[in-house]
């Protein structure tokens, strides 16, 4: 790979030219990395609902043409000036957020919300010079979340990369760079259920099931899954979910049902839907005195959370979680080791695989609500 250092690399990329239209396989030119940037060869990528959400461009400012993708694994091809953490050949996971190592958040043991590299869905260019590293016949192509992994090669800020164990299978650990780690960390790092505790999971998509996996790892005695789609219940049993509730089947608020079946409420709850009513239910279903509710799903920016102050005064705790409270560079390697040590089962999250040439099939599967994660092989 070193023969391409400093040169423009022509390669295949799946380009979104218009909102909601199938991606088009194009030959793009990928410029060399600038200061504090790394160019990587993407080996595997997967489709996350965030990609779909911004591809549909419903409720956001459309930014096209664009190369989506942010859940992936790859190998470092070259590094820019000032990069001393990574070397050519390193196995890495690109991450939609980052860790500059210098800001107050990065220096805090309690936060992972880097001032410099925090998620910015509206930014289509690199921080270094405000320009794109992708082009087609001289036309710049917008980046997405600083990663743009639907390309055989991409350029990312070095703070948005995690160096991982080279023995970890890239076709599996690629899914740990976003949704799975978000759900897992929201339980293990934020909710922190104790051995034998009761946990409610609102939303049984990939993130919610990862939260359930965290509850299983923590030793929860009961894991209650709440979802409007009963077709998800059988799959959720593989992730340790022991009981299921569909709010549509109840004639009263779901938090009341949960409180009754758990003698006053669950010890912990994790909300993974972004629905404001589910958020309120997740908070109000935890036990007074010690219950902790963690919000993970992203609601409409105009949504308002309303509950009675007495619910807080009764010593319930409400927390928010961003990327599972994991610092990308510092903490993701340990998540990989959880998988390598067979403590975390990643394989069951991967329900489909497609070659890069058929990437639109992954979008079709997600639009139909089929499966959890579809891994895309960039070499096929």
49 is catalytic: yes
Q: What is the DSSP letter of 82?
A: T
65: preceding bond cis by omega (within 30 degrees) = yes
Cα 377 to Cα 47, 73, 174, distances in angstroms? 12, 10, 11
Q: Determine how many CB atoms are found less than 10 A away from the CB of residue 311.
A: 18
Which of 11, 37, 45, 71 does the annotation list as catalytic? Answer: 71
Which of 26, 39, 66, 178 does the annotation list as catalytic? Answer: 178
- In whole angstroms, give the CA distance from residue 33 to residue 31: 7
Torsion of CA 39, 45, 46, 50, to 10 degrees: 10
Which of 29, 56, 103, 242 does the annotation list as catalytic? Answer: 103
178 is catalytic: yes
373 is catalytic: yes
Which of 49, 123, 352, 353 does the annotation list as catalytic? Answer: 49
103 is catalytic: yes
Could you tell me if 200 and 258 are in contact, meaning their C-beta atoms sit under 8 angstroms apart? yes
Which of 26, 66, 105, 106 does the annotation list as catalytic? Answer: 106
Q: Is 193 left (phi over 0), alpha (psi -120 to 50) or beta?
A: beta
222 is catalytic: no
- In whole angstroms, give the CA distance from residue 332 to residue 184: 11
Quote the Cα angle for 350-98-357, to 5°. 40
Which of 29, 118, 121, 243 does the annotation list as catalytic? Answer: 118
* Parallel, antiparallel or unpaired: strands 243-245 and 222-226: parallel
Give how far the C-alpha of residue 178 lies from the chain's centroid of Cα atoms, to the nearest Å: 2
71 is catalytic: yes
Which of 45, 50, 198, 273 does the annotation list as catalytic? Answer: 50
Which of 100, 174, 272, 285 does the annotation list as catalytic? Answer: 100
42, β-bridge pairs: 74
Which of 11, 26, 66, 70 does the annotation list as catalytic? Answer: 70
Which of 37, 39, 48, 271 does the annotation list as catalytic? Answer: 48
285 is catalytic: no
Residue 154 exposure: Cα atoms within 13 Å on the Cβ side: 40
3-state secondary structure of 361: helix
277, two tokens: 């009513």
Which of 11, 114, 174, 374 does the annotation list as catalytic? Answer: 114
Which residues carry out catalysis? 48-50, 70-71, 100, 103, 106, 114, 118, 178, 373
């Amino acid at each position: 790979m070193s023969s391409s250092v400093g040169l423009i690399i022509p390669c295949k990329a799946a380009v979104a030219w218009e909102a909601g239209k199938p991606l088009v396989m194009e030959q793009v030119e990928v410029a060399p990395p600038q200061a504090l940037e790394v160019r990587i060869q993407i080996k595997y990528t997967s489709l996350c609902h965030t990609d779909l959400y911004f591809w549909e461009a419903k409720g956001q400012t459309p930014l096209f043409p664009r190369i989506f993708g942010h859940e992936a694994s790859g190998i470092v091809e070259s590094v820019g000036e000032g990069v001393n953490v990574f070397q050519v050949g390193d196995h890495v996971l690109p991450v939609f957020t980052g860790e500059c190592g210098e800001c107050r958040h990065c220096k805090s043991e309690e936060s992972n919300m880097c001032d410099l590299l925090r998620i910015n869905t509206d930014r289509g260019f690199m921080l270094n010079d405000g320009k794109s590293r992708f082009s087609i016949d001289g036309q710049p192509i917008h980046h997405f979340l600083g990663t743009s992994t639907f390309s055989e090669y991409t350029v990312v800020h070095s703070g948005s990369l995690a160096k991982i164990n080279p023995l970890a299978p890239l076709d599996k650990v690629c899914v740990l760079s976003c949704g799975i780690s978000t759900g897992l960390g929201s339980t293990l790092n934020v909710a922190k259920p104790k051995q034998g505790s009761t946990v409610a999971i609102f939303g049984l998509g990939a993130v919610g099931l990862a939260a359930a996996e965290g509850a299983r790892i923590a030793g929860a005695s009961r894991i209650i899954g709440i979802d409007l789609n009963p077709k998800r219940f059988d799959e959720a049993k593989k992730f340790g979910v022991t009981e299921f509730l569909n709010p549509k089947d109840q004639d009263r608020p779901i938090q009341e049902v949960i409180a009754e079946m758990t003698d006053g409420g669950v010890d912990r709850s994790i909300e993974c839907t972004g629905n404001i009513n589910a958020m309120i239910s997740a908070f109000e279903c935890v036990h007074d005195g010690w219950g902790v509710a963690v919000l993970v799903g992203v609601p409409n920016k105009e949504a308002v959370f309303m509950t009675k102050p007495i619910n807080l005064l009764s010593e319930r705790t409400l927390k928010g979680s961003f990327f599972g409270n994991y610092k990308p560079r510092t903490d993701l390697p340990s998540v990989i080791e959880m998988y390598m040590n067979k403590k975390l089962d990643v394989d069951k999250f991967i329900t489909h695989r497609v070659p890069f040439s058929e990437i639109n099939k992954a979008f079709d599967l997600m639009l139909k609500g089929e499966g959890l994660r579809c891994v895309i092989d960039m070499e096929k």
